[in-house]
Chains A and B, each alone.
Chain A
């Protein structure tokens, strides 16, 4: 397995290289000039030209790319055009909020979706199954921002249970931290719950028809033991795979959720940087997201060996 891990880590290098190239090219091909944005609405053509020169945007594109790659290799993700701060510093300021949001969302998702999926499978065709599947379709269908506004209206404006917006770090206390994360996490988890509940139901249904499940019942085991120890464990590989794939969904959702709930995380930083054509910040963020995605999928692959002893690398 050690060899497998090494091979996978090495294989991330060309993946990250491709990501770097694509992001670099896409940003340069996107209309918009950071110099014009930096100069402000009343900026004159002369001011814009001076800023372009200062930022090196007048250099040929291949030269800009070489400088960019050279800096990455040296571990320098660059300096934000706008804030004149290292992008790593900006990311460090924001990563806590996004990680907290993602972790709370994942916890809610796993605690809700897997039991729902198992129950729906066990009660296949019943009203419970239909409600779970109905919720699943609804979860896929409601845009994250619509759900966010609905929850804010009910729980923040009308009932005043939760704040409308904002974020408190864990250092401000566990409850203030969670108090501001509950609504955003619920908002973000709904689509994820829908996806995983559906996947869990399908996987569990598959294994419920297997001989070893029938054997377990024949041995006189309780339903809960059969479902949890025999069915769910054997259905886990596809479920964990979907959780991994869903990380991309989570990253996309974070962008919207952080905007609606005004959480200063990486998602909002990405939106701001894209709108401002802050090339170094966008490039660094996409690399970070890509890296997280690659690492999560590596961990998922490794987890298969624990979930299914037949899998060997």
Chain B
């Protein structure tokens, strides 16, 4: 076979190509995450990038494994009193911060107190907490005022805000102030000197880290670091990231956009495209309960009858390999999954929607639907919602904006004509919505509820019932909560979907599954 012009050109310029690839002859994992790391305090913000950073630098008392079991992580052993009011924890030996200091109970208590001021589940736990006392350097007691069935779940909370353990001096920083000391006890050390904001975040292997025994499973198990360094390289342009992976300049992309997956899937010999988070994510259809017409439950139910999950998923994701219609608000494949009460979002029923609109006395009030245009996974949702709502007879004003504007506007309680809103759509990772306390959408405490501000005493009562329930009783209460959520329409779940990651399979091995990208266990050739 005659060599092609291209092959001659490549051969002739091999030195250039070799120089381009020379930087990769080390044991550094080069990764493009879904966004840039901006805030290096995973308690101060709920941003996922800060949470991901937290998993690199800090450790947790407990962690969730792939079967959603709660496993001790920094804790060696623990006891729960018969009245379920006293939890005593013993830390495992050999836990040290990056500066060499031992991790003590005092550090743990200060860290939990700071987390408890910010995180919604932490706040709930602290409401039930009488006090925390250090029994010794490696043992402490948590005393509750009444049983809180989610204590261990809260301490193993996998997503924002995760109760990461920091040195006491750091954890004593006000929860409203960002920390400026980046010492943790996790498997990686944040290299602050090498951090170039908006460009590269560098983590060095913590050589003193003593992993637990056993295989890694999600955030639980042995976190053995097999590379010397991990670099998170910020690439705002996803096409550039995909090109860089194909050219071998980076090793891993956390979540390439769905429309570019086909380019990566074509490189079968060198690139793996795999969904690492088996529970995936869920779309949320959120209504504002403060203003007409969605202050009327019949009109809210009409909106649910107008939409259906599959339309959203087809438009937003497209490839059925990466989505699944799922009636369970707590995600299919989880202990609290149930279909009850959720038929209404699984199929469009325009006659029912029209009937409910009539019963609700809808007068054609214009509804403002916020459309996020710059986040690939969200940008195609609002047009589908607009079309479905119009078919049912709603007067829809779809307003396009960037995601950051939407995030700002959704916090406004003003009427839509004065900068407020009626509907928006977003997405949650499964790890954030595994139960009705974690999942912000179920809160119905009026002003204290998440954006949309549902107000329903019965729902709040059910959530309190869930908190007090023993683990075996929780599924039954969760089912009642799902039914209630659909009745009063706190929100709607608009489909379960998956966001695959892509990496150089000719270089990397041991990439782990998880609700968060984990970088221990990965070896690089």
A residues near B, CB below 8 A?
A: 31-33, 36-48, 50-51, 54, 80, 82-85, 90, 93-94, 149, 152-153, 156-166, 175-176, 179, 259-262, 264, 268-269, 271-272, 275-277
Closest residue on chain A to residue B13 by CB atoms: A161
Q: Are A160 and B20 in contact (CB under 8 A)?
A: yes
Contacts A36-B404, A166-B233 supplied; 7 other A-B pairs, CB < 8 Å = A37-B408, A43-B45, A45-B411, A47-B46, A152-B243, A260-B240, A268-B236
Interface size for B (C-beta < 8 A) is 57
Q: Mark B29-65, 1 if CB is under 8 A from A, else 0.
A: 0000000101100000111101000000000000000
Q: Are A82 and B38 in contact (CB under 8 A)?
A: yes
Partner of B17, one of A160, A165, A262: A160
Q: Are A37 and B16 in contact (CB under 8 A)?
A: no
In the assembled complex, which residues on chain B have CB atoms less than 8 Å from the CB atom of A36? 404, 407-408, 410-411
Bound-complex Cα distance A33 to B180 (A): 24
In the assembled complex, which residues on chain A have CB atoms less than 8 Å from the CB atom of B9? 159
Q: Are A160 and B408 in contact (CB under 8 A)?
A: no
**Least CB distance, A87 to chain B, in whole angstroms:** 11
In the assembled complex, which residues on chain A have CB atoms less than 8 Å from the CB atom of B10? 159-160
Which stretch (B82-90, B97-105, B244-252) binds chain A? B244-252
**Least CB distance, A106 to chain B, in whole angstroms:** 24
Instruction: Tell whether B255 is near chain A: CB-to-CB under 8 Å.
Output: no
A38 and B404 in contact, given A161-B13, A165-B249 (Cβ under 8 angstroms): no
Closest residue on chain B to residue A33 by CB atoms: B408
Q: Are B247 and A40 in contact (CB under 8 A)?
A: no
**Least CB distance, B26 to chain A, in whole angstroms:** 15
Q: Are B16 and A262 in contact (CB under 8 A)?
A: no
A272 and B198 in contact, given A159-B6, A160-B17 (Cβ under 8 angstroms): yes
In the assembled complex, which residues on chain A have CB atoms less than 8 Å from the CB atom of B197? 80, 82-83, 85, 90, 93
In the assembled complex, which residues on chain A have CB atoms less than 8 Å from the CB atom of B13? 159-161
Q: Which residues 5-34 in B have Cβ within 8 Å of A in the complex?
A: 6, 9-10, 13, 16-17, 19-20
A31 and B407 in contact, given A41-B426, A162-B16, A271-B236 (Cβ under 8 angstroms): no
Partner of B407, one of A41, A85, A158, A160: A41
In the assembled complex, which residues on chain B have CB atoms less than 8 Å from the CB atom of A93? 196-197, 199
Q: Are B411 and A166 in contact (CB under 8 A)?
A: no
Closest residue on chain A to residue B443 by CB atoms: A44
Q: Mark B404-426, 1 if CB is under 8 A from A, else 0.
A: 11011111000000000000001
In the assembled complex, which residues on chain B have CB atoms less than 8 Å from the CB atom of A260? 237, 239-240
Closest residue on chain A to residue B198 by CB atoms: A272
Q: Are B160 and A42 in contact (CB under 8 A)?
A: yes
Q: Are A42 and B432 in contact (CB under 8 A)?
A: yes
Partner of A262, one of B240, B410, B426: B240
Instruction: Tell whether B402 is near chain A: CB-to-CB under 8 Å.
Output: yes
In the assembled complex, which residues on chain A have CB atoms less than 8 Å from the CB atom of B401? 31
In the assembled complex, which residues on chain B have CB atoms less than 8 Å from the CB atom of A272? 36, 198, 236
Bound-complex Cα distance A39 to B118 (A): 11
Q: Are B402 and A47 in contact (CB under 8 A)?
A: no
Among all A-B residue pairs, the 10 with the closest Cβ atoms: A40-B46, A33-B408, A264-B199, A40-B47, A42-B46, A82-B38, A83-B197, A160-B17, A36-B408, A31-B405
**Listed residue (A33, A54, A90) with the most chain B CB atoms within 10 angstroms of its CB:** A33
A38 and B120 in contact, given A166-B249, A275-B404 (Cβ under 8 angstroms): no
Instruction: Tell whether B397 is near chain A: CB-to-CB under 8 Å.
Output: no
Bound-complex Cα distance A275 to B244 (A): 24
A32 and B19 in contact, given A156-B247, A161-B13 (Cβ under 8 angstroms): no
Bound-complex Cα distance A44 to B440 (A): 9
Bound-complex Cα distance A93 to B236 (A): 18
Partner of B249, one of A47, A51, A164, A271: A164
Q: Are B405 and A164 in contact (CB under 8 A)?
A: no
Q: Are A156 and B46 in contact (CB under 8 A)?
A: no
Bound-complex Cα distance A85 to B120 (A): 29
Q: Which residues 245-272 in B have Cβ within 8 Å of A in the complex?
A: 246-247, 249
Q: Are A157 and B402 in contact (CB under 8 A)?
A: no
Bound-complex Cα distance A42 to B16 (A): 46
A157 and B408 in contact, given A85-B197, A176-B19, A262-B235 (Cβ under 8 angstroms): no
A38 and B240 in contact, given A54-B176, A163-B20, A264-B196 (Cβ under 8 angstroms): no
Closest residue on chain A to residue B161 by CB atoms: A42
Bound-complex Cα distance A275 to B234 (A): 15
Partner of B120, one of A44, A157, A179: A44
